[in-house]
Structure 1
Amino acid sequence: MGSQPEYGVAAELNVPVETRDGIELATDIYRPADPTTGEPIDDSKPALLDRTPYGKRGRMERHGEWYAKRGYVVAIQDCRGRFDSEGEYYIFVNEPEDGYDTVEWLADRSYCDGQVGTIGTSYGAWVQSALATQDPPHLEAMFVNQGAANGREATFRHNGAFELRWLCWALTLGGGFAKRALEDSDVQALLANVDVRDVLADGPIHRGQSPLRHIPNYEEWAFDIMTQGAASDELWQSPGIDFERHYDGMADVPTVYAGAWYDSYTKATCDNFAALADLKDADQFLLMGPWTHGWNGYPLPSWNKPYSGELAFGEAALRNYQKTRLRFFDHYLKGEDSWSDQATVEFFRMGTGDGGRTTDGRLFHGGEWSTADEWPPSDVEHTTYYAHGDGTLATAEPDPEGGATSYEFDPRDPVPTLGGNCSSYITYEPREENLIEYPLAERNLHDITGRGGFDQRTREDTFATEPPYGPLEHRDDVLVFRTPPLDETLEIVGPIRVRVHAETDAPDTDFTAKLIEEYPPSEAFPNGFALNLADSICRARYRGYRDEPDFVEPGEVYEFAMEPYPTANVFEAGHRIRLDISSSNFPRFDVNHNTGGPLYDDREYQVTTNTVHHSAAHPTRIELPVRNG
């Protein structure tokens, strides 16, 4: 059940925490207090640390009050160079040491009993793993919700491509609240008037010519992650960006890795758990819901929403975020029996709904919770489905003369993104009011790509598309392979692997893969519903997870390996499993110009012919984690 709200709250704001290099980080401290007098209690209590780049007041303030009432000291801190904290901001680079110093400072306060736990979502999850690489002596437990594992592999970049969400973030939540923007109303006004959709449509941007030129330190890190792809680049070896490289030395403390099937960190969350459950002695847990990125927050009681994009899951999907974290910390920091019945792995099996249309127009995909002792579950076996020349997807291996299929990839006409594992593809709504009349912090954000499950057909509000609108499968540059309608229910749980055997007439190009569940036509959805479950990309010069670029020879067949993000989904009988192969997914990923030129800011374009093979010698395939029930 968890600790009850028996205390008042005493707050001390903007307490300076000095780091090893003399920078002061502004920190708000919330302490349990006598409910009558409001004075802090004398007893020392375990502490929870939440470090954020988004400002430590407002919603974050209510976090502090919520836990303080239940007997925790709570420290909420502005990250270096953000809001009230000193220093220069370069994304994630200083977070390991700053986090370590704050944990040890907090443990040394008389009101702390020497135990420090960490909390936070997204950026607040990154900074937890970052400080854990330094193994602070007084770190005792972590609840890492939706965070990274390896920034080069599948977060900043993805198998060689760049996730454009970070450019969107730099122009909105990042740059809009940069020190210079907060201190200079002219700079904030310039950023407030940027429509990120225009930046993406007119891109790539160039150094000194974009809105980021007004905040040079943000332009620096943005271009670093957009243009540096080799593993040898110092950026990718930082303990603030690549936690996998530092797993062995990470703190060995009880940890929950929580995430969601349509989150932008799905793979990283599962990878962190799978690796550290083997490496560490302390208890490690994995908790995966069907949600998108983020959570609804105080005072709403649910963990995110009972829907993702155009999918509905019902109330079964709801979890109480605050109470779940409280049960965990009560168990490991207070010694209460509040977490002992928690399964090592708990996940939501999507897809057991009736496929009807909800009152708000969503497809009722449904689902239910399930548990396992490990990840992936022990009763999962990978089953290979092969692409065939007639457009089928089957477990039967292709013929020796299976052939190949070609298409033209024009980087000026990329395949549009329709939902999926997206976050931060946002822009501020255009407003006529100035910043005094309508401050940036109060302006609504417009979602550019959508997040979660979507019917894979363009519509009027789909970014970077023109009429006539319709199914992506009708595009000439999308190859579609599908099974016949399934004779019986099939469940998948775990990581997915795709191997595309292909050639190109360019020195560099991309290949993409998307796993789709096809609902048959019904009264509720007369055209059926092509539901995206997971996707990935591979940039040819980094194929095979290369550390350094290696361009391809035109006309030579290569294997392009991809790992669409893990999922848990039930395909009902009568549905089809579909694999789409193409060469772009914009703006989820930056578009390859096919020239072999510099990453991201290439000024030249080349239309290329890409050829996907589906023969016995070159079998394009998807390996699905089928659960034996």
Structure 2
Amino acid sequence: MVSHPEYAVAAELDVPIETRDGVELATDIYRPADPETGEPIAEPKPVLLDRTPYNKRGRMERHGEWFAKRGYVVAIQDCRGRFESEGDYYIFVNEPEDGYDTVEWLADQPYCDGQVGTIGTSYGAWVQTALATQDPPHLEAMFVNQGAANGREATFRHNGTFELRWLCWALTLGGGFAKRALEDEDVQQRLANVDVRDVLTNGPVQRGQSPLRHIPDYEEWTFDIMTKGAASDELWEEPGLNFEAYYDEMADVPTVYAGAWYDSYTKATCDNFEGLADRKDSDHYLLMGPWTHGWNSYPLPSWNKSYSGELEFGEQALRDYQETRLRFFDHYLKGKDTWSDQPTVQYFRMGTGDGSQTRDGRLFHGGEWAESEEWPLPDTEFETYYVHEDGRLSTAEPTVSDSATSYEFDPRDPVPTIGGNCSSYITYEPREESILEYPLSERKLQDITGRGGFDQRTRPDTFGAEPPYGPLEERNDVLVYRSEPLEEPLEIAGPIRVRVYGSTDAPDTDFTAKLIDEYPPSEEFPNGFAVNLCDSICRGRYRGYRDEPDFLEPGEVYEFYMEPYPTANVFGEGHRIRLDISSSNYPRYDVNHNTGGPLYDDREYEVATNTVHHDADYATHVELPVQPR
């Protein structure tokens, strides 16, 4: 039986925890207390640490109270340079040592029984894995929800491109609550008046001219991650940004890597589990739901929602986030038998719904939970689907010679992003009130791209789209390859691999790939429904995950290797498997200007003629992780 709420809560706020370089990190400590006296109990308890850049008060303090009532000491800390903590902020660089120092400080307190566990989502997941690279002696368990693995490969940057969500984050949740912005009303007002959509539309922004110029340290790290693409740059070897490089040194403690099929960290979550489960002796778990990034705020009991974008999965998709974490920590920190029946891998198999329309207009994609002892799943058979000149996607290999399709890629007219593995593509709602009248912390955030599964057609609220609105497949720069309607359901679960054999007349360009579950027309959806499952991109100069740039020779055929994020989906009878290939997906990724110029802040543009080859020698294809029927 899990711990029940038997205690009152005593809180000590803004406790200074000094790090090795003398910086003090403000930490709120929540302790179990006697229900009658309100005094903290004397018995030492396990400590749960949550480190955040988003302010340790408000929603975060409710987490502290929730676990403290159930017999845990909870420490919630503002990261260095954020809110009440001292120091200068450079995204993620100081988190490994700061986290280590905090774990060991907490373990030395009389209220701690010597065990420290860590919790947190998104940034709060980054900082957990960051401190684990330092192997703190008293770290005993981690519940890592939606965090990174390798910042250069697929988080900050993605196969050579830049994920523009970090510019959006820097302009909103990052810069808006920087120390200088919090201390200077004029600076915060300037940032509050920025519409990120305008910055994206008028970009690329330049150093010293961006809205971040008012907080120069934030502008510095933002431009660093936007413009530094080579692995030789020491930034990408920092233990706070590249955990994969430190797997061998990482703490060996029971860990849950939790994520979601439409999360911005889907690949990283699976990569961490794959990279560490076999390396470490401790129990490691993978838990993947059908959700998008984040989870519903306390006190809502469900783990995210039963829908993602325009897809509905049903109530079976809901999970109790707090109770799941409690069962894990009760088992590993308190010795209760609350986690022994948890499978090593638990994932949500999407796509078993009937495709009907729900009352709120979503498509009922449905799904169910499944489990395994391994990931990738042990019985996976990777099946290759090849693209053909007539638009077919088939397991039959091309036999023709010299077959290819070309299109013009205009970087000034990129393919719009419609949902997917997106997070932080946000802007604050435009307001006429001043910061004093309507503080930034109270302003609503507006989504720019959508997140989750969407019918792949533009509409009036699609960023970057212009009328007439319609399916992306009707664009001249999107190549569409689809299978015949399936005679029986096909289940996939695991990593996806795409190899586009492409050529261009430019010194550098991008190729993109998007896997789609294409529903046939129905009475409720007369135009069918093209469900985006996952996507990826490859920048030519960094093709094959190159460490250093290697520009393209016009006309030469290259392999553009991509890894759309893992997924688990059943393509229903009558559905088609579809692969869309293009050269942009904006603003999910920054747009290649085709000039071979500097990353991100190139001011020149060239239209490129890009060619996808689909013949016997250069067989463009997607490899799908097919599961036994």
Give the structure 1 partner of residue 242 of structure 2. Answer: 242
Matched, 1:212 2:212: yes
Give the structure 2 partner of residue 171 of structure 1. Answer: 171
1:19 counterpart letter in structure 2? T
1:480 counterpart letter in structure 2? V
The C-alpha deviation readout for 1:244-303, integer Å capped at 9, x for no partner, is 000000000000000000000000000000110010000000000000000002100000
Give the structure 1 partner of residue 456 of structure 2. Answer: 456
Q: In structure 2, the residue corresponding to 1:249 is in which secondary structure?
A: coil
1:398 counterpart letter in structure 2? P
- In the TM superposition, residue 66 of structure 1 has moved relative to its aligned partner by 0.2
- In the TM superposition, residue 562 of structure 1 has moved relative to its aligned partner by 0.1
Q: In structure 2, the residue corresponding to 1:565 is in which secondary structure?
A: coil
- In the TM superposition, residue 125 of structure 1 has moved relative to its aligned partner by 0.1
Give the structure 1 partner of residue 341 of structure 2. Answer: 341
User: Is this contact kept in 2: 1:14–1:84, CA < 8 A?
Assistant: yes
The C-alpha deviation readout for 1:464-504, integer Å capped at 9, x for no partner, is 11100000000000000000100110000000000000100
Give the structure 1 partner of residue 533 of structure 2. Answer: 533
The C-alpha deviation readout for 1:431-486, integer Å capped at 9, x for no partner, is 11111111100000000000000000000000011100000000000000000100
TM normalised by structure 1 equals 1.00
Give the structure 2 partner of residue 522 of structure 1. Answer: 522
Give the structure 2 partner of residue 503 of structure 1. Answer: 503
Q: In structure 1, the residue corresponding to 2:236 is in which secondary structure?
A: helix
* CA distance in 1: counterparts of 2:272 and 2:400, whole angstroms: 40
Q: In structure 2, the residue corresponding to 1:117 is in which secondary structure?
A: strand
- In the TM superposition, residue 326 of structure 1 has moved relative to its aligned partner by 0.2
Q: In structure 2, the residue corresponding to 1:469 is in which secondary structure?
A: coil
The C-alpha deviation readout for 1:200-223, integer Å capped at 9, x for no partner, is 000000000010000000000000
User: Which residues in structure 2 correspond to 1:409-558 (within 5 Å)?
Assistant: 409-558=409-558
User: Which residues in structure 2 correspond to 1:28-427 (within 5 Å)?
Assistant: 28-401=28-401, 403-427=403-427
The C-alpha deviation readout for 1:2-36, integer Å capped at 9, x for no partner, is 10000000000000000000000000000000011
- In the TM superposition, residue 550 of structure 1 has moved relative to its aligned partner by 0.3
Q: In structure 2, the residue corresponding to 1:279 is in which secondary structure?
A: coil
1:163 counterpart letter in structure 2? E
* CA distance in 2: counterparts of 1:196 and 1:488, whole angstroms: 45
The C-alpha deviation readout for 1:400-440, integer Å capped at 9, x for no partner, is 32600000000000000000000000000001111111110
* CA distance in 2: counterparts of 1:366 and 1:568, whole angstroms: 12
Give the structure 1 partner of residue 612 of structure 2. Answer: 612
1:356 counterpart letter in structure 2? S
* CA distance in 2: counterparts of 1:544 and 1:423, whole angstroms: 26
User: Is this contact kept in 2: 1:306–1:312, CA < 8 A?
Assistant: yes
* CA distance in 2: counterparts of 1:402 and 1:38, whole angstroms: 79
User: Is this contact kept in 2: 1:297–1:303, CA < 8 A?
Assistant: no
- In the TM superposition, residue 88 of structure 1 has moved relative to its aligned partner by 0.2
Q: In structure 1, the residue corresponding to 2:115 is in which secondary structure?
A: strand
* CA distance in 2: counterparts of 1:59 and 1:627, whole angstroms: 41
* CA distance in 2: counterparts of 1:8 and 1:579, whole angstroms: 55
User: Is this contact kept in 2: 1:458–1:465, CA < 8 A?
Assistant: yes
User: Is this contact kept in 2: 1:146–1:293, CA < 8 A?
Assistant: yes
* CA distance in 2: counterparts of 1:205 and 1:294, whole angstroms: 28
Alignment length, in residue pairs?
629
* CA distance in 1: counterparts of 2:73 and 2:82, whole angstroms: 23
Q: In structure 2, the residue corresponding to 1:208 is in which secondary structure?
A: coil
**Which has the larger displacement, 172-181 or 396-405?**
396-405
1:110 counterpart letter in structure 2? P
Q: In structure 2, the residue corresponding to 1:248 is in which secondary structure?
A: coil
* CA distance in 2: counterparts of 1:18 and 1:511, whole angstroms: 48
The C-alpha deviation readout for 1:124-146, integer Å capped at 9, x for no partner, is 00000000000000000000000
* CA distance in 1: counterparts of 2:498 and 2:390, whole angstroms: 19
* CA distance in 1: counterparts of 2:266 and 2:360, whole angstroms: 27
User: Is this contact kept in 2: 1:516–1:532, CA < 8 A?
Assistant: yes
2:249 counterpart letter in structure 1? G
Matched, 1:583 2:583: yes
* CA distance in 2: counterparts of 1:127 and 1:524, whole angstroms: 45
User: Is this contact kept in 2: 1:388–1:402, CA < 8 A?
Assistant: no
Q: In structure 1, the residue corresponding to 2:248 is in which secondary structure?
A: helix
- In the TM superposition, residue 61 of structure 1 has moved relative to its aligned partner by 0.2
* CA distance in 1: counterparts of 2:194 and 2:142, whole angstroms: 37
List, as ranges, runs of 4+ consecutive aligned residues in structure 1 with deviation greater than 4 Å. none
The C-alpha deviation readout for 1:145-164, integer Å capped at 9, x for no partner, is 00000000000000000000
* CA distance in 2: counterparts of 1:390 and 1:299, whole angstroms: 53
| Identity within the alignment, % | 81
Give the structure 2 partner of residue 563 of structure 1. Answer: 563
* CA distance in 1: counterparts of 2:589 and 2:203, whole angstroms: 12
User: Is this contact kept in 2: 1:479–1:582, CA < 8 A?
Assistant: yes
The C-alpha deviation readout for 1:91-115, integer Å capped at 9, x for no partner, is 0000000000000000000000000
User: Is this contact kept in 2: 1:389–1:402, CA < 8 A?
Assistant: no
2:349 counterpart letter in structure 1? R
Q: In structure 2, the residue corresponding to 1:333 is in which secondary structure?
A: helix
Q: In structure 1, the residue corresponding to 2:592 is in which secondary structure?
A: coil
User: Is this contact kept in 2: 1:455–1:532, CA < 8 A?
Assistant: yes
* CA distance in 1: counterparts of 2:103 and 2:369, whole angstroms: 35
* CA distance in 2: counterparts of 1:60 and 1:143, whole angstroms: 16
2:104 counterpart letter in structure 1? E
2:442 counterpart letter in structure 1? E
Give the structure 1 partner of residue 27 of structure 2. Answer: 27
1:80 counterpart letter in structure 2? R
Q: Which runs of 5+ in 2 are unaligned?
A: none
1:181 counterpart letter in structure 2? A
TM normalised by structure 2 equals 1.00
2:569 counterpart letter in structure 1? N
1:555 counterpart letter in structure 2? G
1:573 counterpart letter in structure 2? E
1:182 counterpart letter in structure 2? L
The C-alpha deviation readout for 1:505-554, integer Å capped at 9, x for no partner, is 00000000000010000011010000000000000000011000000100
1:628 counterpart letter in structure 2? P
Q: Which runs of 5+ in 1 are unaligned?
A: none
Q: In structure 1, the residue corresponding to 2:278 is in which secondary structure?
A: helix
User: Is this contact kept in 2: 1:457–1:472, CA < 8 A?
Assistant: yes
1:9 counterpart letter in structure 2? V
* CA distance in 2: counterparts of 1:322 and 1:423, whole angstroms: 22
